[in-house]
Structure 1
């Protein structure tokens, strides 16, 4: 039989063990409570914005939403400024060509080259002016606001109206656009179904005109640049030579064996004010047209590639993601609006017979595009599916 001392020592050991564990248990309990509160607030915050379709793109869109809003509003208000800038720059090029380039061509070129420059230059100018006017004044196309029997793909979450196929919402125009490609600030207009051909034709003929001007004025530009570098603008003619008040040149380094010997000679004639203006205008013309030819030419080639594929700028990103998604599943993506490279161009340009290549492509034409922008013809292989 155990004595009371043994029981007392046993109780004391248990009490000391409990006393040592109390701080650890209290700390663990506090940590557990903080963790529970943190998880609780995380659940509350996620419940405000959680969506099963959330991904990194959605998070980035939310983060950059203030920037998007600022860009949309600035683009909407500065559209008029961009259009005015296009008109001003184009007009300046035309004025310089008429006042500076054509007189030189008439006085130095043979007759057949004069005829070529007159015919091609005025044809190119006519195409640029016509298509820019049509691209800026033609509406891109809008889906009907009322309920109709037209097949729709989804509902616009901003307009709360049905969206037909290839229709997307423009945050700058604040409405849905049929076959939307992008919003162009240089047109102050959206590029959509009814003015997509006008936009591309303007880019094409403007690029051709800039390339034509850049090549035609290259020799004139070099002569003007050499004239400015010759020193006959500021009165300095060579290293160590300056014009004196009496109109003579005083040289500190004359030819000869005696350094420092000075002599006087008659200076070469300087350029008149009119000649200087011609030189500066030619340099301005060549630099401007060459820069626009490179920038706008690249944009034109990019849109030509999209037209060849039967896509728009918006659809290119959508199809790229869809192609990657189906590839992981071992399926092949096919663009439902791709009719073949040549047929895509015929549909885009509205070419239905051989004569249309002249009357609708090489000459100004305001014919309507193929279809109404609400329904689209699909190739025979599609069979209402985009993956095989």
Structure 2
């Protein structure tokens, strides 16, 4: 894949927004996948605290020092699915999966019954590889790993570039079309930089490459009156914050700068006040900001983005139910913290957008 570094778009958020798939798939994927092999956990390499039960399951996971390694071999370069069979001891558990010591996701065991969970589309070169189940929450019974060839992705997709704001300006529409044109073909580079285009991070990138990233990520928090008021609470302060930021965004609108706007991020985590509430309350707040920005302040240069993960289904359902099914977020954002001590990886995520 090529990496593009052209175009002009400001990414106004606390992180980088990634375009998620937003269309229908016409081509039919095959139902069957070719199985490369099944590996029993009891035949793998276990760390000293793990043990094999009479039934042949590996147990004893309590922390990251507890690991079970599978040695696998694939005949050719390609994408492979890793299907694990495991059960959570005492209910819901999460543990880490690594490929050649690089984290690729979590093994989620949701019940005490054995079930199969798949980590999809891992690129493996021909040859031997080490697949590791590493304790995080621990307390699982691990049975086996099955390696399968990943299904082929559809070559052609018809992407819906309709924005939720019917009055969206030309710059926002052009940006959405540009993003859709890159889908499945290119990566679009972006960098968060508190100092803007000429901040430290951007300067380092330009010095190293002679180019600027396509997008710059900024934080509008310092414009909040509540920030100055040292955390004052109440609806009036909240609306005042929105008013202050909207006025700053109008400057960019007048300059015809399109913005990927990702407000109220990481709601499912609960560590920010806007996430420390019910999904219904969060969605009402999101809708309040959307209506205020698009109607009262006529910010037609915004493409609203919503940060999602596997725990925010209830947020998405509620968000899409307001105003007769109007889905005010045009882009799904996958927020990843690639800080595993053993390295990082480039992740390719194929997700869908539900509604307009």
TM, length-normalised to structure 2: 0.19
Structure with higher strand content: 2
Structure with higher helix content: 1
TM, length-normalised to structure 1: 0.18
